[in-house]
Structure 1
Amino acid sequence: MDIEADERRYGSKRIYQRLGPASGQPDRPSKVCFHWQAGRCNRHPCPFLHSELPATQGPSSSSKRAPQQNLVWQNPSTRGNGGGPNGGNQSKWGKGRHEENTRRLNGGVGTSQGEKVCKHFLLGTCTFGDRCRYLHSWSIGDGFSLITPLKGHQKVVSAIALPSGSDKLYSGSKDETVKVWDCQTGQCVATVSMGREVGCMISEEPWLFVGIPDSIKVWNTQTGAEMSLSGPTGQVYALVAANDMLFAGTQDGRILVWKFSAATNCFEPAASLLGHRLAVISLVVGGTKLYSGSMDHTIKVWDLTTLQCVQTLSDHTNVVMSLLCWDQFLLSCSLDNTVKIWFTSNKDQMEVTYTHNEDHGVIALCGMIDAQGKPVLMCSLNDNSMRLYDLPSFNERGRIFAKQEVRAMQAGPGIFFTGDGTGEIKVWQWAA
């Protein structure tokens, strides 16, 4: 944006401001004005260049604090278990959280650690390279680091699965493929065309379930057997397995149920749970309950024994994007910019015991244990960033940044994965 100056006072200096020094003007330092690049310089004359540097002085190939690339990563033989927040006392949720956790600072992406990540680096447009005053990094925080990116998908990574005991990682995408990655080398060893966009994917030994429009694809990763489950109408957004049953949240608001038959080694239709008015996009099982989150802004609680809805939770004011069970707590997130912690009261009814507020919509949750055995919650926001919080205090311990929204997360022992809207998967590890 140009500054409209009074020409009677400044003459032609407004033109000079945007184009740099004219012939005959004394030489200036070979440094571009940061405020000019942002379109808000109001200095007349400015001591720095109002033009881009020559191409020979463009972005450097190396970046400040650039993470190591192309390292070998391994998937340990067993999946990491969640565990619960310290203490298990509902009154401890949110204790110790500071308001500056979500502070934004001008010129960069602010964090509670006081550091700033270059916004232009995240967009791939920073022209300063090593001379940039802000960090060129995909994360800020202690205790975790980027191992390597996995590139291959052409569109949004919608799901990541890490089967227990397997040396393979599976990723599904809206590019209509499922990719298989070797955990020893980080290389893609197979690409399976689904013919439709992948909406979700889970692994439940030895099965891999992939939700696509109007169907669920099933593979036995040990025998190679495969089958298709019909019944869904529209996209399958969520899958969860429990008690030898498979539950699928669909676009038309139903939750379809299949029961595994050991006699036929197949999944047979068992029920259709009705109650949501719009698409069911998140499912999770905790104890004897199934929880479903929907675009209708509600969470429904279902009894796993009777498959009846026993409670409807209506505290969110926008789409319920993700659900997570942790010990006796239910965590939910929504595009209403909140994460809510639910606890069962003495009346056997779920109530909100703590609400954590963000500046942006929350689109996904993932819980894990760090290298020190501490519980950590990852929250993906629709500002293309992720927040890492210690539980139950909700003290921020770090941030992860992406070019586009992170839609898929998966935790393993000492390792975790994020998949974003560009199709890239990043592999992260916890520091010992």
Structure 2
Amino acid sequence: MDLDGGAGNNKRVFNRLGTDTSKNQKVCFHWRAGKCTRFPCSFLHSEPSHPSGSAAASSTANGSGAPKRFADDSGFSGSAQRRGPNFKNNHNNSWGRMGANNKVVRKTEKVCNYWVQGNCTFGDKCRFLHSWSLGEGFSMLNHLDGHQKLLSGIVLPAGMDKLFTGSKDETLRAWDANSGQCTGVINLGGEVGCMISEGLWLFVGIPNAVKAWNTQTNQEFSLSGPAGQVYAMIVGNSLLFAGTQGQSPSIIGFLQEGILAWKFNAVTNSFEPAASLKGHTLPVVSLMVGANRLYSGSMDHSIKVWSLETLQCLQTLTEHTNVVMSLLCWDQFLLSCSLDQTIKVWVATENGNLEVTYTHNEEHGLLNLRGMHDLESKPVLLCACNDNYVRLYDLPSFSERGKIFAKQEIRAIEVGPSGLFFTGDGTGFKVWKWAEPVATT
């Protein structure tokens, strides 16, 4: 998302200085254009007050009484369209408030860079956000950093008081879930493409391998077989599936299988190759299990449906027009999101095949989907987009519940217990919590 920073911020600095009566009473032309770099400047960095009458009328925008320049350079024009038709109108009133000289101070969807640095002097009167989110019903509890690059995975193994994060900086970090302190760092020697936990096991996908840890015994395994980066993993029918990059056609003449499967052998205490699923023509980047099916999304723009019993492809879905980044099974529905800026909701027909029953359009490509319930048991969909936003939608209406912002893309989202959820970007990860419902009498 855009931060309030850069050269255009000079005008905000000068606005704080007020009007100096010793200056030339001519308004600075460069200041009006937002480009004045003189300090101090011999011309005014504010609009002169006009008496009532024609002069005042000529300087107002839309008859509102606010100087036209305030509307022009604030970036507010078209803000309703940028929010989109699904944005709830009741949020608008919380953004508008009356400022000095009866001007309306309205919030934009930009985080104040001065606030991020801890030195914004406007306080509540700042028209930029002093928060990493918009919306009601949830709040940020903590922001933890330590990784040097983009987070690609966050997991909370069941029954543990630890949280694990993996990153493009080639490390795996363990965090104490109570104190928020980092308790350990493992250098993996390759970028983390994905992470999952299943029972006592923690699985981490890196180039050409899957690392497996038994969190109870601390045993470590390295599962060989993948070619290139491991982008996605899922467990189904006692098998571990991994979606991989595969070999480049220029290297071996064809694309190596994009989905590999392993089964744990308790007798030999090892993971053994079980199957390879052929069909996709480009790397597999998303996997999901539901209704005794394995669903795989690929860079070839398709979704394949596989039987978990026979591991045979049952159907290929081709309605997306770009990379299928994430998949989610919810009740009887399959949800998919893509860089083609759509979320598609699929439902099974009488013959068992999946068809699109609804398409939700976004203004940006989508990266990740997660589903959860708030503390009132209402279903909420979390959608990470490549504009550094996570949008929260009520289901099934897809009415917007709020937004979460970040400095960089949010690739990792994880859902925890008791209304907790986590978002990770290139600066670390944030801990969020749904608010307790307000009791009514």
- The TM-score with structure 1 as length reference comes to 0.76
1:258 lines up with 2:262 in the alignment: yes
The 2-side partners of 1:38 and 1:317 are apart by 45
Partner in structure 1 of residue 429 of structure 2: 425
Partner in structure 1 of residue 166 of structure 2: 172
Output aligned runs, 1:173-322, within 5 Å.
173-252=167-246, 254-322=258-326
Moved over 6 A (4+): 20-24, 32-35
Equivalent of residue 25 in structure 1, options 20, 23, 26: 23
Output aligned runs, 1:3-42, within 5 Å.
25-26=23-24, 36=34
Deviation at 1:287, TM superposition (A): 1.6
Secondary structure at the aligned position of 2:204 is classed as strand
Partner in structure 2 of residue 61 of structure 1: none
- Counterpart AA for 2:282: L
The 2-side partners of 1:367 and 1:101 are apart by 28
Deviation at 1:266, TM superposition (A): 1.9
- Counterpart AA for 1:184: N
1:408 lines up with 2:389 in the alignment: no
1:339 lines up with 2:343 in the alignment: yes
Deviation at 1:33, TM superposition (A): 6.3
Deviation at 1:411, TM superposition (A): 0.3
The answer to whether the 8 A contact 2:111-2:130 is kept is no
1:142 lines up with 2:136 in the alignment: yes
Deviation at 1:372, TM superposition (A): 0.5
Deviation at 1:135, TM superposition (A): 2.5
Distance 1:111 1:395, change over 3 A: closer
Deviation at 1:165, TM superposition (A): 1.0
Asked which structure has the greater RCO (Cα within 8 Å, sep 6+), the reply is 1
- For structure 2, the residue ranges without an aligned partner over 5 or more in a row are 1-6, 8-17, 38-42, 48-77, 96-106, 247-256, 437-441
Secondary structure at the aligned position of 1:281 is classed as strand
The 2-side partners of 1:122 and 1:316 are apart by 37
Equivalent of residue 119 in structure 1, options 101, 110, 131: 110
Alignment deviations for residues 378-429 of structure 1 (CA, whole Å, 9 cap, x no partner):
001111111100111111111100001100000012100000133x100001
1:325 lines up with 2:329 in the alignment: yes
% identical aligned pairs: 57
Deviates more, 1:343-352 or 1:122-131: 122-131
> What is the RMSD computed on CA atoms of the aligned residues?
3.3
The 2-side partners of 1:355 and 1:309 are apart by 24
Alignment deviations for residues 120-168 of structure 1 (CA, whole Å, 9 cap, x no partner):
5269589654241232110011111000001100000000001111100
The answer to whether the 8 A contact 1:283-1:291 is kept is yes
Equivalent of residue 360 in structure 1, options 358, 361, 364: 364
1:379 lines up with 2:414 in the alignment: no
- Counterpart AA for 1:192: I
The answer to whether the 8 A contact 2:388-2:408 is kept is yes
1:48 lines up with 2:46 in the alignment: yes
1:104 lines up with 2:82 in the alignment: yes
Alignment deviations for residues 318-344 of structure 1 (CA, whole Å, 9 cap, x no partner):
000000001111000001110000000
- For structure 1, the residue ranges without an aligned partner over 5 or more in a row are 3-19, 40-44, 50-99
1:157 lines up with 2:151 in the alignment: yes
The answer to whether the 8 A contact 1:284-1:323 is kept is yes
Secondary structure at the aligned position of 2:154 is classed as strand
Distance 1:296 1:47, change over 3 A: same
- Counterpart AA for 1:188: C
The 2-side partners of 1:425 and 1:369 are apart by 21
Alignment deviations for residues 5-37 of structure 1 (CA, whole Å, 9 cap, x no partner):
xxxxxxxxxxxxxxx9999634799xx968626
- Counterpart AA for 1:227: F
How many residues matched? Answer: 357
Alignment deviations for residues 226-261 of structure 1 (CA, whole Å, 9 cap, x no partner):
110000000000000111100000001510000122
